[in-house]
């Protein structure tokens, strides 16, 4: 009987048992289309300035010779921070070849804020979101002998400064009416007492970048949406701040008139924002809770014995804001623009 023939070995799995034509065609993924980089924000009216730096030939704001000028400016993009984005917005390191303080001073000069300070020459300058202690900047130190820098206990967070040509009677850092220790809010509020009035500078707590409708917070949080949890936490902090600040305002106005300025982080009416419907009760500053608190701060009960506070800008400009109407010459150099208040008589 002939021997049994060995079965032919099957081809290894790595080898093709058929022609290449029999193989299915491999689908190649198309590279994802790159998103176009966002350009600078431009005014609605193309004829308005949209420069990225403050003009060198900036003219001073017209004021009365015998008045007191108070200017408020947010410096978030000017790079005054010792920690964090000192080298410019979005950067985590100082400019090459410069220390942190020096880099902040360089940004202050190159981005033009020093030009504005020199042109405006205000009697009192309020700077918010400074995120640092006092830097060495000649445009500030040579002009303002009385300088008060409020620093948040958390490095790189908040920060506020009031610089004055006039010496105050007293200076208060932080808010004494909060449940937390007063130094905890030193980077949020500074009060200068003068003979006839108080000047209160604030950088009010933000309610959060991603704010959901309040009624569905619990639902989103149950799904593990941490952003919504954080927003709820921030809004709660904002509400606590608003209650404490209203109490503090009443304490001050019982003694002297109050000038309240700074970054208030609220959109009190639909005339104060371009897209009201898409932001109302969805975005920070636009919730009923924040709006009602702001209105309560300005309007004490009729039988309380306290005077009302006036929203000076809105009172002078009751129409809707369609574009930045304050200091258009520097639109684009920052996402904030300064506000100037010209007062008659001594503070």
Query: What is the maximal distance between C-alpha atoms in the chain?
Result: 128
DSSP for 80-142, please give it: --SSSSTTSTT-SSPPTT--HHHHHHHHHHHTTHHHHHHHH--SEEEEES--SS----HHHHT
Q: Tell me the two tokens of residue 143.
A: 């002009």
DSSP 225: -
The dihedral formed by the CA atoms of 294, 300, 302 and 305, expressed in degrees to the nearest 10: -160
- The catalytic position among 116, 148, 198, 203 is 203
b/e burial code for range 97-136 (CB count within 10 A of at least 16 → b): eeebbebbbbbbeebbbbbbbebbebbbbbbbbbbbebbe
Cα 296 off chain centre by? 23
Helix intervals (H) in the chain: 100-110, 113-120, 138-141, 217-222, 226-253, 276-279, 288-298, 312-316
- The catalytic position among 101, 123, 152, 263 is 263
263 is known as an active-site residue = yes
203 is known as an active-site residue = yes
Q: Which residues are catalytic, by number?
A: 203, 263
């Amino acid at each position: 009987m002939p021997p049994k023939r060995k079965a032919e070995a099957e081809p290894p799995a790595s080898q093709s048992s058929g022609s290449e034509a029999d193989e299915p065609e491999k689908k190649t993924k198309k590279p994802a289309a790159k998103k176009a980089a966002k350009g600078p924000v431009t005014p609605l009216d193309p004829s308005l300035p949209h420069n990225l730096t403050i003009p060198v030939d900036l003219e001073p704001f017209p004021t009365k010779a015998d008045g007191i000028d108070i200017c408020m400016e947010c410096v978030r993009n000017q790079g005054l921070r010792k920690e964090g984005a000192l080298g410019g917005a979005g950067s985590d390191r100082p400019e090459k070849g410069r220390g942190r303080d020096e880099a902040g001073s360089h940004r202050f000069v190159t981005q033009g804020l020093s030009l504005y300070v020199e042109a405006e020459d205000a009697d009192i300058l309020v700077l918010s979101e400074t995120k640092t202690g006092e830097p060495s900047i000649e445009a500030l130190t040579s002009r303002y002998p009385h300088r008060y820098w409020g620093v948040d206990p958390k490095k790189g967070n908040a920060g506020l400064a009031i610089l004055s040509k006039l010496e105050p009677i007293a200076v208060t850092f932080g808010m004494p009416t909060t449940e937390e220790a007063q130094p905890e809010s030193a980077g949020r509020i500074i009060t200068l007492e003068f003979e006839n009035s108080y000047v209160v500078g604030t950088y009010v707590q933000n309610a959060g970048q991603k704010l959901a409708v309040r009624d569905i917070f619990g639902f989103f949080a149950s799904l593990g949406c941490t952003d919504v949890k954080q927003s709820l936490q921030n809004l709660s902090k904002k509400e606590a701040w608003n209650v404490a600040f209203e109490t503090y305002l009443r304490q001050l106005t019982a003694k002297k008139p109050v000038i309240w300025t700074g970054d208030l982080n609220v959109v009190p009416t639909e005339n104060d924002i371009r897209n009201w419907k898409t932001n109302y009760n969805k975005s920070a500053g636009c919730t009923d809770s924040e709006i009602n608190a702001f209105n309560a701060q300005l309007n004490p009960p009729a039988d309380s014995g306290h005077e009302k506070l006036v929203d000076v800008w809105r009172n002078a400009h009751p129409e809707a804001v369609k574009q930045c109407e304050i200091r258009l010459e520097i639109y684009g150099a920052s996402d904030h623009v300064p506000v100037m208040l010209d007062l008659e008589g001594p503070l």
